[in-house]
Amino acid sequence: MYKRSIFLAISVFFFFTGAFAQFMPDPLGIKLVRTLQLTNNLYVDEVDSEKLTEAAIRAMLRELDPHSSYLNKDEVRAMNEPLQGDFEGIGISFNMVTDTLYVIEVISGGPAQKVGIMPGDKIIYVNDTLIAGVKMSSEEVVKKLRGPKGTTVTVKVLRRGVPRLLEFRIVRDKIPIYSIDASYMADDEIGYIRLSRFAATSANEFRKAEEKLKAKGMKKLILDLTGNGGGILQTATDIADEFLDNGKLIVYTEGRAQPRSNFTATSKGQFEQGDLVVLVDESSASASEIVAGAIQDWDRGVIVGRRTFGKGLVQRQLPLPDGTMIRLTVARYYTPSGRCIQRPYKSGDIEAYNMDFFNRYRKGELLHADSIHFPDSLKYKTLVNNRTVYGGGGIMPDYFVPIDTTSLTDLHRDLIAKGIVNRIAIMEVDNRRNSLLKAYPDVDAFKKDYSIPADMVTKMKQMAEEEKVEWDEEEFERSEKLLFTQLKALIARDIYDSSAYFKIINDENEIFQEGLRIIKTPEKYNDLLM
């Protein structure tokens, strides 16, 4: 252990003192290694050298900025998986409900589908290990189901209407992770695409979604980046390229040791013409802000929602010899008008940086646009229509949409947090899947005609009592419409797909509704761009 840790520390030392000698002079590297040696040799108790080394690296990087960080092997794996666009496993989505694994979705063409696993199945055993009724966490279940491509896992399944457990032998394989949460036509000419991340496969997914919507008559597009925390820079520029003319600057990066690098649009974009609305909120960050910033700076579309996160720093992933990694901020990125949208931070004070959302809420910024103030020094002009925009704290939308708190009650929060709403939706699908599909052959029919039955509310009250959630009738009446929409959306997702979920839940999404209203009103749309 000692030798391995010393090796790691020395490796870090040579990493910084070799190719990147300008960042850490030799005496400081020697100082780091010597401190570790003295601690190992002389400290009163035995120490975990590897743990100390990792703590030192984490502390060092924490002093730089909020986004430079150290990642151990497990953290590297967890970070890379969604960005790579695939993982190795059996190919299901599931929910743990009252200690039972319910299969929600079976990925088309995946290993589970090939052997006959179906939505609604309950997995009871994994390789002779009982997982039902034993309070096993979702993380533990995932570890048992996932594994290297080509390896085998055996599951025993309880299926409605079948009196015995069904056994399936599944050979694990590569499973795609999709970035497009939803893609559908909002009306005869308005398409909607919701992008959850900027992964390696996201640009190709996006182009395919565009093509399908254009084939259905799409002339206008709503791009939903709310809650999208970012991802790969190149992917962001590839998606922005879909909307911008050849040669237009999308973003540029620059740092002390990184010369300016320009990313420009090509002639390959599939939606360079046609009205465009981009939806953002306080969780839209990094790559999302690159896309939104480029579209705003070129007056290409209207940004709708709330001020974005404000991450304008570029990290480079730098592997260390033992499979760990540091993510080091090497540059800032700038929108075409020259804005750096990184919000202020104090080196070493990550806690204050992470409290930004709470502070925005406390100051009223999420409720009132006039609570947001930018200094004149951060004022910039868009490149076509000369509109005023600001840097230094995220992308301020062209049209502000406050958080709607009218339906949010303590009862609603508790019903969601206790998993009651999700469990009721699963039960409805589990009990009535075939009859629901027969009555509503597609999501449009379901959306139009399905209503939440009264007995579902009765069951919700029973579950609330069991979970010691205080039922307040007045709060229920305030939250009823939102709760029913969420229930309906969850049921639709389990019957059809994730697009069905958003097709329904967007009825209660104020940002989407305002974006839809704007793109449907040419006068309003054009006025916001002038």
The verdict on 146 and 290 lying in the same domain is no
The verdict on 256 and 200 lying in the same domain is yes
Q: Is residue 292 scored above 60 in pLDDT?
A: yes
Catalytic site residue from 297, 414, 494, 497: 297
pLDDT tens readout for residues 112-162: 988 889 888 899 999 989 999 888 887 888 889 999 999 999 999 998 778
The verdict on 347 and 206 lying in the same domain is yes
User: What is the model's pLDDT at position 21?
Assistant: 43
- Where residue 152 falls (left for φ over 0; alpha for ψ -120 to 50; beta otherwise) is beta
- Residue position matching structure tokens 């010369």: 259
User: What is the model's pLDDT at position 376?
Assistant: 82
User: What is the model's pLDDT at position 202?
Assistant: 95
Rg of the chain in Å (alpha carbons): 26
**Residue 517 falls within a domain, yes or no?**
no
Long-range contacts of 482-485 (CB under 8 A, 24+ apart): 482/407, 482/408, 482/412, 482/508, 483/412, 483/415, 483/421, 484/452
Question: For residues 93 and 46, which has the higher predicted lDDT (pLDDT)?
Answer: 46
The verdict on 204 and 265 lying in the same domain is yes
The verdict on 370 and 419 lying in the same domain is no
Beta bridge partners of 332: 254, 313
User: What is the model's pLDDT at position 8?
Assistant: 47
**Residue 384 falls within a domain, yes or no?**
yes
pLDDT tens readout for residues 245-271: 999 999 999 999 999 999 999 988 999
Q: Strands 86-89 and 173-176, how do they pair?
A: antiparallel
Among 99-103, 185-189, 451-455, the least confident range: 99-103
Catalytic site residue from 122, 220, 248, 311: 311
Q: In three state form, how does the secondary structure of 99-162 look?
A: CEEEEEEECCCCHHHHHCCCCCCEEEEECCEECCCCCCCHHHHHHHHCCCCCCEEEEEEECCCC
The verdict on 311 and 416 lying in the same domain is no
Contact yes or no for 195/206 (Cβ under 8 A) = yes
The verdict on 479 and 418 lying in the same domain is yes
The verdict on 431 and 353 lying in the same domain is no
Q: Strands 276-280 and 220-224, how do they pair?
A: parallel
Catalytic site residue from 179, 286, 288, 479: 286
Helix intervals (H) in 371-441: 410-417, 420-439
The verdict on 56 and 112 lying in the same domain is no
Q: Is residue 17 scored above 80 in pLDDT?
A: no
User: What is the model's pLDDT at position 271?
Assistant: 97
The verdict on 243 and 348 lying in the same domain is yes
On average, the pLDDT of the chain sits at 89
When pLDDT is cut at 50, 70 and 90, the band that residue 50 belongs to is: confident
Is residue 407 part of the annotated active site? The answer reads no
Is residue 451 part of the annotated active site? The answer reads no
Is residue 286 part of the annotated active site? The answer reads yes
Q: Is residue 1 scored above 60 in pLDDT?
A: no
User: What is the model's pLDDT at position 209?
Assistant: 97
Q: Is residue 481 scored above 60 in pLDDT?
A: yes
DSSP-assigned letter for residue 519: H
**Residue 361 falls within a domain, yes or no?**
yes
> In this structure, what CATH number is given to the domain that contains residue 117?
2.30.42.10
Find the mean pLDDT for residues 380-404: 95
**Residue 459 falls within a domain, yes or no?**
yes
Q: 48: domain range?
A: 2-62
Find the mean pLDDT for residues 49-74: 89
Question: For residues 244 and 3, which has the higher predicted lDDT (pLDDT)?
Answer: 244
Domains in the chain, number:
4
Q: What is the pTM of this model?
A: 0.86
The verdict on 96 and 206 lying in the same domain is no
User: What is the model's pLDDT at position 350?
Assistant: 81
User: What is the model's pLDDT at position 25?
Assistant: 54
Distance CA 92, CA 113 (A): 8
When pLDDT is cut at 50, 70 and 90, the band that residue 18 belongs to is: very low
